[in-house]
Amino acid sequence: MVDSADPMKAVLSRYRDPALARKLVARIWDLARDLPKIRIMHVCGTHEWTITHWGIRALLPDNIEVRGGPGCPVCITPASDIDVAVKLALDGINVLTYGDVSRAKGSRMISLEDCAADGGKVGVVYSFMDAVRIASSNPDSEYVFLGAGFETTAPTVAYYILKGLPRNLKVLSAHRYVPPAVGFLAESEDLEIDAFINPGHASTVSGMRAYKPYFDKCGKPMVFAGFEPIDVLVAIYMILKQLRENVPRMENEYVRSVTWEGNLKAQKALQEVFDFEDGYWRGVAIIPASAMNLKEKFSQDDARRVYGLERGGGDYFPQEARCAEIIKGIINPPDCPLYMKACTPSTPIGPPMVGLEGTCRIWAQNRILVKDFRCMSEACRINHGTKYVRRL
Amino acid sequence: MKADEKISIAHGAGGLYMHKLIKEHILPRFKQRRSVEIPLTLLTDSAVVNGIAFTTDSYTVKPLFFPGGDIGRLSISGTVNDLSVIGSEPLAISCALVIEEGFEIEKLDRILSSMEEAAEEAGVEIVTGDTKVVERGKLDEMIINTAGIGRRSPHLDKNLEKAASDGRSLRSRWLDPRNIKPGDRLIVSGPIGDHAMTIIAARGELGFEAPGLRSDTAPLNHLMERALEAGGVLAAKDPTRGGLAALLNEWSEATGFGILVKEALIPIRDEVRTGCEILGIDPLELACEGRVVLAVSEKFAEDVLEALRSHPMGREAEIIGWFSGEHEGVVVETEIGGLRYLPMPIGDPIPRIC
């Protein structure tokens, strides 16, 4: 244990240092003074977890808001792709996917997990590697892997496709590429985003460079950030500094992982295997050049071509649910009438409560404090002298 | 619950599901026919009937033997602790064994000796018991059930008198969350999560050896006596399934008051913290089997803390937070000073740990 514990402890204590956090918060307050209302969006479920789990929103001045955008792969996977996978599973083809994807419901409110109870063939895997291993050791069965996720998970799929898949394994790609989505969100007028915290893991693959055209177009601050609380506080500090100086930049807070070029080997694999085409993000929009679809030369590996599947169109969300607005970051979970009433982590209805990185699930599990909650005890240091809110 | 619903592992995990099962299925069917001082409906660790504290618990830990203890030590400690936290002095314990056909006698001997050792440590006697064997495959090795009785601790009256000297009126003459009011302090007797993380490591789920980890399984009655002697203790509970998160939520619900705890003050060993990082679980949800959380009058919190620290089992005790009349639910001040709610755990990340 000693060997494994020490380096981790060193990292944790550095990026979770309370004294440093206090200093950063004080600087953020200084910078935010006299600024108008600032809305910062992040597009990664893990950032939402960090912000929520560490209670960062309670530390920020009233005029600084951090919104969660479409950063949960399960949430943005089109209902039509889930429908198609359910149909395949019920037709006797073994559908393999990640655990939380298997719980996401399609347009008829049926998930892969639900259809397994009706005899659908569904298997849960931790990675595409597991899918390859399972298909190889069962050569007489047909398998389809429903690949959801961003450029974080897609390179593994690309790598195995280039290496040659087992003949009985096809890929149903619902993979999405993040940079065009950030570009889309930056131009969305209903969101009024002032700056972005860009995803640390996805950008480690794509590199900062991939965001350059979108930054040039919108001219809004973009800071690439890591996932410890100090990372997020530094990113907010950097953004406010840019806004104060009125010189928007692309800046890298996550220097221990993100580079300008990114992971060239992974990018090459993605370029070789996928065409980057218009793609629907559930609840958001059709975003140009964001869907990673298999190139024609890999037709034999492409479940859509092999089984003649329709490409996703249309959408469906449960009645009264405001999933789409939550995924896009227009509203916060408590603004949805189903949140923590009919829709809870143990009885999820909409995809943001299903996905491990879904905004609703993270908020529910940490019961985030909203609006004016300020504890007036000496312990909480930042005292607005305002009222307490009742439990969500 | 609907007719086709079935018992899941989560129903025994100490979280939301288990509470629902108890409240919707068990409590309405067991009628309380005469006045019992501390009845079943209060869902305390022990009941009190005619001045006698009474409790029972079943143990199904996997593996049976783990660093720092085994199912035998666990089965005595757990019942002694349930009796202690209500303010009673444990007297006698029963031992019911349900064993799978084919179980090795040598292992059974080791478990029984361990039970006797723990009983001696606690100063209780095992006075009655039962043995059943089930067919191979119908049970995973063994289950132990223990029940125990205790009498009112000689220090309890003085302890409560002292607590009431701050001007409050007591609603119960036992250690009982109904005695709590805003401002009361929360004390934990030592680092949390050692037991659960030891079990996880012993099952090989960490993926590496963790030689520094030992379960905290121990009878807490002597430590509790020390705290009562100091005086000012209002309620006590051991954070078993669901850990600190479940315990604090239960108390917040039972009292109707909010709780604020400071994460930085909660003692957690590095090994436990690291294990939680790797597995993505919250240390506040991990079970302990030899720790107690006390609610103490603000006026006497430092005295009780000192008394706990004077006992070998309480050396790492800390004041971790307080009750508040100004918000609802359990709020954690995170290590960087942020705030979040700590919800009741839904289920347990790891079944069969006690």
Note the pLDDT tens digit of each residue in B59-81.
999 999 999 999 999 999 999 99
A18 touches chain B (CB under 8 A): yes
Supply the pLDDT for residue A319: 81
So where are chain A's domains? 74-178+264-306, 323-366
Per-residue pLDDT, averaged over A161-165, amounts to: 97
What is the distance between the alpha carbons of residues A88 and A85, in angstroms, rounded to a whole number? Answer: 5
| Residue B305 backbone class (left: φ over 0; alpha: ψ -120 to 50; beta: rest) | alpha
A97 strand-pairing partners: A124
- Binned at pLDDT 50, 70 and 90, residue A341 comes out as confident
In three-state secondary structure terms, B79 is helix
When mean pLDDT is compared across A254-258, A308-312, A361-365, B158-162, the lowest value belongs to A308-312
Supply the pLDDT for residue A364: 82
Cβ contacts of A377 on chain B, cutoff 8 Å:
260, 322, 324
ipTM of the complex: 0.75
| Homologous superfamily of domain range A74-178+264-306 | HypD, alpha/beta domain 2 (3.40.50.11740)
A214 touches chain B (CB under 8 A): no
A21, closest residue in chain B (CA to CA): B336
Name the residue among A130, A129, A137, A122 with its Cα closest to residue A168.
Answer: A137
Per-residue pLDDT, averaged over B219-239, amounts to: 98
Supply the pLDDT for residue A385: 31
Residue with tokens 């990185």: A357
A368 touches chain B (CB under 8 A): yes
Closest in A4, A5, A18 to B264, CB measured: A18
CB contact under 8 A, B340 and A369: yes
B62 touches chain A (CB under 8 A): no
Per-residue pLDDT, averaged over B313-334, amounts to: 91
Supply the pLDDT for residue B12: 79
Q: Which domains does chain B have, with CATH numbers?
A: 38-152 (3.30.1330.10), 156-341 (3.90.650.10)
Asked whether the predicted pLDDT for residue A372 surpasses 70, the reply is: no
Supply the pLDDT for residue A312: 61
In three-state secondary structure terms, B201 is helix
Q: Is the dihedral of CA B259, B265, B269, B275 positive or negative?
A: positive
Least Cα separation, residue A40 to chain B (angstroms): 18
Least Cα separation, residue B81 to chain A (angstroms): 30
- Binned at pLDDT 50, 70 and 90, residue B347 comes out as low
Supply the pLDDT for residue A386: 32
Asked whether the predicted pLDDT for residue A217 surpasses 60, the reply is: yes
Mean pLDDT, chain B, rounded, equals: 92
A68 strand-pairing partners: A42
Asked whether the predicted pLDDT for residue A7 surpasses 90, the reply is: no
Q: Name the pairing type of β-strands A122-124 and A64-68.
A: unpaired
CB contact under 8 A, B337 and A2: no
CB contact under 8 A, A55 and B339: yes
A2 touches chain B (CB under 8 A): yes
What is the distance between the alpha carbons of residues B30 and B28, in angstroms, rounded to a whole number? Answer: 6
Tokens of B4: 């086709």
Q: Is the pTM of this model over 0.95?
A: no
Instruction: Walk across the sheet containing B47-49 and list its strands.
Output: B47-49, B52-59, B142-152, B88-100, B125-134
Asked whether the predicted pLDDT for residue B2 surpasses 60, the reply is: no
In three-state secondary structure terms, B88 is strand
Least Cα separation, residue B162 to chain A (angstroms): 26
CB contact under 8 A, B274 and A8: yes
A263 touches chain B (CB under 8 A): no
- Binned at pLDDT 50, 70 and 90, residue A3 comes out as very low
Asked whether the predicted pLDDT for residue A368 surpasses 60, the reply is: no
Instruction: Walk across the sheet containing A250-252 and list its strands.
Output: A64-68, A38-42, A195-198, A222-224, A250-252
* Strand (E) or helix (H) holding A303: helix A303-306
B272 touches chain A (CB under 8 A): no
Most confident option among A269-278, A353-362, A382-391: A269-278
**Does residue A221 have a cis peptide bond before it, meaning omega lies within 30 degrees of 0?**
no
A16 touches chain B (CB under 8 A): yes
What is the distance between the alpha carbons of residues A131 and A144, in angstroms, rounded to a whole number? Answer: 9
Per-residue pLDDT, averaged over B259-266, amounts to: 94
Asked whether the predicted pLDDT for residue B285 surpasses 80, the reply is: yes
B332 touches chain A (CB under 8 A): yes
pLDDT tens for B12-41 read 777 778 888 999 999 999 988 778 899 998
A388 touches chain B (CB under 8 A): yes
Q: Name the pairing type of β-strands B52-59 and B88-100.
A: unpaired
Per-residue pLDDT, averaged over B337-350, amounts to: 78
Per-residue pLDDT, averaged over A32-38, amounts to: 94
Least Cα separation, residue B274 to chain A (angstroms): 6
